[in-house]
Amino acid sequence: MRHLLSLALYACLSCLPALVRADNILALGVFPNMSARAIVTLYQPMQAHLEKALKQRVQIQSAPDFSSFVERTLNREYDVVVIAPHLARLVQQDGGFIPLFGYSQELHAMVVVAKSSTIRTADELRGKTVALPDRMAVMPVLGQRLLREHGLQADVDYHLLPAISHSNAAFSVQHGDAQGAIIGSAPFAQLPGELRDSLRVIATSESIPNQFILANPGLSAARIEALKKALLDFAAVPEGRRFFEHNGFGGLKPATDADLKKMEAYAKDVRTLLKRQP
């Protein structure tokens, strides 16, 4: 029942233009690289542990798309965020968010096709349709760069099919709407088994840092320290180890400025995209 209520609450919250919460609720913002249902299900173990450790209610929240999530983050509507690496750099610089941890397993973009497809190499996607998630995500950038290395230019040598998430991009291939898709290695690991098993990886990009966890700069130092301890404790218990290992996260490691600086150019690109929006 609690899980069903959480799903209903999340569905409502993700549609609101602004999120309102009581002072005794910690808002855990998770960037929308998957569906709302998948995010709530995935992060329920972390939510449960934090509630117990911090002795307060924790609410999983997100947004309909990447730009809305960035906007809500910069408006300080979340107490703590789990966010893509290039967006982590952006909210650190533009919003003063405090980096706490990064997921230890590095990320890379994957070009996938249906397991039954006759396509074996990336260059065979010439003239085909390739699905990709939100253009503000870093994985499409890496994936399209990878396709360029195979001599394929977007909208010239292959057609782009926008998808709202990595899982939707994968579904587009499974359903035959696209012959290929660009998705991240972590979202690929998080796909339902039947969907993941219906796909085949034909190319992978260079690696970049994984997602980061950052704290709202409005939190007190004591609250941030309590949050850091709770997250480290979560990584040490069986439920936490399963969470990190099974979802392609690896574990927790301290967030370093060196890793965040690697995402500088990608953060700049997103900042430009945001300025172009009406």
Residue-level pLDDT at 164: 85
- pLDDT means over runs of 10, the chain (278 residues): 44 39 82 88 97 96 92 97 96 97 95 97 97 86 91 95 91 97 91 95 94 97 97 97 93 95 89 77
**204: its two tokens:** 């992978």
Q: Quote the CATH superfamily of domain 2-106+209-276.
A: Periplasmic binding protein-like II (3.40.190.10)
Report the residue count for the chain.
Answer: 278
* CA separation, residue 23 to residues 27, 94, 105, 241 (Å): 10, 24, 34, 30
How confident is the model over 107-160, as pLDDT tens digits? 999 999 999 999 999 999 999 999 998 778 888 888 998 999 999 999 999 999
Burial class from Cβ neighbours inside 10 Å (0-12, 13-18, 19+) for residue 155 reads exposed
**CA 104 – CA 113 distance, rounded (Å):** 27
| Residue extents of the structural domains in the chain | 2-106+209-276, 109-204
* Beta-carbon contacts of residue 221 (< 8 Å; ≥ 6 apart): none
Burial class from Cβ neighbours inside 10 Å (0-12, 13-18, 19+) for residue 211 reads buried
> To 10 degrees, the CA torsion angle through 140, 141, 144, 148?
-170
How high is the mean pLDDT of the chain?
A: 89
Q: What's the one-letter identity of residue 172?
A: S
State the Cα angle at 250 between 248 and 255, rounded to 5°: 115
Cβ-based neighbour number of residue 119 at 10 Å: 16
* CA separation, residue 108 to residues 17, 138, 182 (Å): 32, 10, 10
Indicate if 109-204 has the same CATH topology as 2-106+209-276. yes
CATH of region 109-204:
3.40.190.10
pTM across the whole model = 0.80
